[in-house]
Structure 1
């Protein structure tokens, strides 16, 4: 299948404002790109690209005073196969985990393992290890949090989502990641496109999506506590410890977000 992806984000800045942007398709999907989702700006301004410490493609700009439109329109090829479900995947003991996975066991900005460890063990100590334990965590988080865009708050942490029992996809991911780390399972945050392909209507407004990956049996596997079923058409943008590592935009000055639109839809062959 082919998936059209893109966005249009409009800012108004009262003065020239530096920005970091994480909006491009992840390098692991480069072989699937048919039409690149190049970042374009109106008015035209210089763009400098770099890789962050997690290997994500990022861009640096200085937004001019006034209105700035950021937009992209790309096309990617996708297998159309749902997320993998490997129920026999085992949990790797901490002492045998690869060095590069250890950072995803630690607490981070939105994932307060120190506050959640006792709760996690009370909830999941008796769950089977490995895939079944991660799935038990997803099941719990999916039941525990009520989804709603009105509950979005950029400062909300996993602890606060647990207490409030409300949130958006990133809050589901943060709470599940935190529980996984508390149970000694490396987990990392993912952001990207996830359309409604294969799902029955009605469809909500499109947005960038948040999910997570857990390290089991020597591999990273996709989990989605918000939807909690295998989905098709995920297009990864970036990975990190939590949403603080992979913001769509990070601005260094005052600004007003005037409009925000995300597109991800199947295109007929």
Structure 2
């Protein structure tokens, strides 16, 4: 299938501000791209001063997690970040690794070992006993990973009003309420405690072959390392989905914010959409009705430094 994803995000900056953005498709998807994948950054001046926005220079680099990042210095005033790309995605929902055993620690690739350790939002060192009590009797590997995903999905309630940027996995475990990132942080932490590498993911999860679920957004999920590969897991939605488009991976949400501004950046406009299109570029009609649990509810992450 072909998936078209696009965004238009605007800020007002009181002063000149350096910014880092993670808004490209992940480099691992380069062969699936069927269009360019360019981040356009524009300084929008008042109409009386300039008829057209001034496009800013953007430098790209690959970070330590393998994500494609963009950096630029934005002048004071209104700034627009926009982009669109088309990707060829599998015609099947998220693969499932039922029956796969655990990968012995000595066989885990060196680059994946960091995803067994504690990080800012994932206090692995505080969850060892909790994880063993809850999941120590499951078979190592996929059975344990799936049990953790299912437990978090069942025990944590979704509520946008419960979002806060400082909420950790322990906070989620205690409060039992949160948004997408909170579900994934708790699941990632418990999974690492059971010696399964787990990393946090951001990307697009649009209304692909499910009914329209409201305004679009970026999504958070996570991946576990088993049998020589990474598997998508989603403690919030907890069912195989079509059309996940990977943008960035990291230890937790701190590593993969869609924008990081080194100064004040007031969000003024936010539009994101990811949809299936046909060969002529027309949107593919969505089905009329499925259970509410299948609707995507996700959040883009922006942060100031």
TM bin (shorter chain): over 0.9
Question: Which residue does 2:278 correspond to in 1?
Answer: 268
| Structure 1 ranges of 4+ moved more than 6 A | none
Structure 1 residue aligned with 2:183, among 172, 176, 183?
Answer: 172
Structure 2 residue aligned with 1:251, among 257, 261, 276?
Answer: 261
Question: Which residue does 1:222 correspond to in 2?
Answer: 232
Whether the 8 Å contact between 1:83 and 1:231 is mirrored in structure 2 is yes
> 2 CA distance for matches of 1:161 and 1:88?
29
Whether the 8 Å contact between 1:5 and 1:37 is mirrored in structure 2 is no
> 1 CA distance for matches of 2:105 and 2:220?
26
Whether the 8 Å contact between 2:115 and 2:251 is mirrored in structure 1 is yes
Q: How does 1:81-120 map to 2 (within 5 A)?
A: 81-120=92-131
Whether the 8 Å contact between 1:145 and 1:161 is mirrored in structure 2 is yes
Q: Which has the higher contact order (CA 8 A, sep 6+)?
A: 1
Alignment length, in residue pairs? 268
Shift of the alpha carbon at 1:164?
A: 1.5
Question: Which residue does 1:69 correspond to in 2?
Answer: 80
Question: Which residue does 1:234 correspond to in 2?
Answer: 244
Q: Which runs of 5+ in 1 are unaligned?
A: none
> 2 CA distance for matches of 1:117 and 1:36?
45
Q: How does 1:98-247 map to 2 (within 5 A)?
A: 98-199=109-210, 201=211, 203-247=213-257
How large is the Cα RMSD of the aligned pairs? Answer: 1.2
Shift of the alpha carbon at 1:139?
A: 0.5
CA 1:121–1:109: 2 relative to 1, 3 Å: same
Query: C-alpha offsets along residues 65-110 of structure 1, whole Å, 9 cap, x if unaligned?
Result: 0100111121111122111112121102223322222111000011
Please give the secondary structure, in 1, of the residue aligned with 2:125: helix
> 2 CA distance for matches of 1:79 and 1:72?
22
> 1 CA distance for matches of 2:58 and 2:212?
38
Query: C-alpha offsets along residues 163-204 of structure 1, whole Å, 9 cap, x if unaligned?
Result: 1111111111111100010111111111100112122x3513
Moved more, 70-79 or 51-60: 70-79
> 1 CA distance for matches of 2:215 and 2:182?
18
Whether the 8 Å contact between 1:6 and 1:37 is mirrored in structure 2 is no
Q: Which has the larger radius of gyration?
A: 2
> 1 CA distance for matches of 2:103 and 2:259?
35
Q: How does 1:47-62 map to 2 (within 5 A)?
A: 47-62=58-73
Q: What's the TM-score, normalizing by structure 1?
A: 0.96
Whether the 8 Å contact between 2:41 and 2:58 is mirrored in structure 1 is no
Shift of the alpha carbon at 1:114?
A: 1.4
Q: What's the TM-score, normalizing by structure 2?
A: 0.85
2:24 pairs with 1:24: yes
Q: Which runs of 5+ in 2 are unaligned?
A: 44-54, 280-305
Whether the 8 Å contact between 2:202 and 2:249 is mirrored in structure 1 is yes
> 1 CA distance for matches of 2:64 and 2:89?
27
Shift of the alpha carbon at 1:115?
A: 1.6
